[in-house]
Amino acid sequence: MAKYEEPEITREVQLCKPDGTLNRSAVGWTRHPMHVCNLSGRRFRKKRWNYWCVLDDNFAFSPTLANIDYIGIANASILDFNEKEFHEKLVVTPFGSGFNMPDTVEKDVSFDKGGLSISIEYVKGGIRMRAECAKFDGGPLSADITIEKPAGHQTLSVVIPWNDRTFQYTSKQNCMSANGFVKVGGRERRFTPGKAFAVLDYGRGIWPTKTTWNWASFSSKQGDDLVGINLGSKWTDGTGMNENGIFLNGVLYKVSEDLVVEYDRADFMRPWRLRTEHSNMVDLTLTPFYERKSGTNLIFLGAEGHQMFGRYTGVLNAGGREVRIDNVTGWAEEHISTW
């Protein structure tokens, strides 16, 4: 497993050169979004998505907007951890019709087609998330959530360079307090600030045809500390960059080494261990309580996903401190795509 130097970028940069290939000066990571994702050319190979997950100890709400050139995918889902209930609405459009995916992170996105309406609006001090669907699985859906993002709040954005023609920009944003409600079929579930947190996965890039990744995330209050993680493996191996970071009280601590992720592919419900091999920055165990399976099998698109929601325990070391993690709700996943 590798440990290496990763350049930090501190000013705006274009992701691509005019011919649509990777701008090598864009390879690096940032504490605030700095990249302009000016994807062009490469017909049917471009991938753009905004995935959100808002969760507390009781339930998770996830709206997703994705345009992968040949199709567009809009999805809203709710998972009740206590009752083990999962409901969703999925809308697929040809050639990404109905999607407007901006080139920078902090821009509004919306979708209103096929009976599903999703709106993510950047407002003063944060983000407003709304969703409506009259024919949602489980009954009509209505959601209205305000997400707090204080000035100066640090996040993790990084460019992963497989080569000059395949690359990915990802912005992972954690530890943003959420307040609001999700109503399905007349039943209302509420998010409480300080107990509920939002996570954003913003992605723009040109991917290899076949990809496998692990992704792990949580955000939580641990005593007086606001702490979170974004950790990944497999998809970044051998690139000299990764998406690993610890968020502590609004400050990002970059983890510039690959992650060891240990889990049982024959039984994803067994505990997962995530650790850094060359340092003591990360040593966590996730004990899953729910497996969200996903799969697609089309001529041009195949996917298999296992998103494991559970409770994290363990230790993080950042900023010269050891932070104990005790029974924190989050997830880890394996995803295999042919796209």
Is residue 4 a part of any domain in this protein? no
Q: How confident is the model at residue 303 (pLDDT cuts 50, 70, 90)?
A: confident
The percentage of the chain sitting over the pLDDT mark of 70, rounded to a whole number, equals 98
Is residue 326 a part of any domain in this protein? yes
Q: CA dihedral in degrees (132, 134, 139, 141; nearest 10)? A: 0
Tokens 């497993």: give the residue. Answer: 1
Is residue 164 a part of any domain in this protein? yes
pLDDT at 269: 98
pLDDT at 7: 97
Token output for 213: 């990744």
Q: What is the mean pLDDT of residues 319-332?
A: 97
Strand partners, 158: 29, 170
Is residue 90 a part of any domain in this protein? yes
- Work out the number of other CB atoms within 10 angstroms of the CB of residue 226: 21
120: domain range? Answer: 13-338
Is residue 3 a part of any domain in this protein? no
Q: pTM of the entire structure?
A: 0.96
Is residue 73 a part of any domain in this protein? yes
> Could you please report the per-residue DSSP string of 187-211?
EEEEE-BTTBEEEEEEEEEE--SEE
**Does the pLDDT at position 294 exceed 90?**
no
- Work out the number of other CB atoms within 10 angstroms of the CB of residue 220: 22
> Rounded to the nearest 5°, which phi and psi values hold at 26?
-90, -5
Q: How confident is the model at residue 295 (pLDDT cuts 50, 70, 90)?
A: confident
Is residue 8 a part of any domain in this protein? no
**CA 285 to CA 298: how far, in whole Å?**
35
**Does the pLDDT at position 196 exceed 70?**
yes
- Write out pLDDT tens, residues 168-185: 999 999 999 999 999 999
Structural element, H or E, at residue 129: strand 126-133
Q: Is the distance from CB of 211 to CB of 258 less than 8 angstroms?
A: no
Token output for 56: 């507390």
pLDDT at 199: 98
**Does the pLDDT at position 298 exceed 80?**
no
pLDDT at 111: 98
**Does the pLDDT at position 261 exceed 70?**
yes
Q: How many domains in the chain?
A: 1
Tokens 């295999």: give the residue. Answer: 336
Is residue 2 a part of any domain in this protein? no
**Does the pLDDT at position 297 exceed 70?**
no
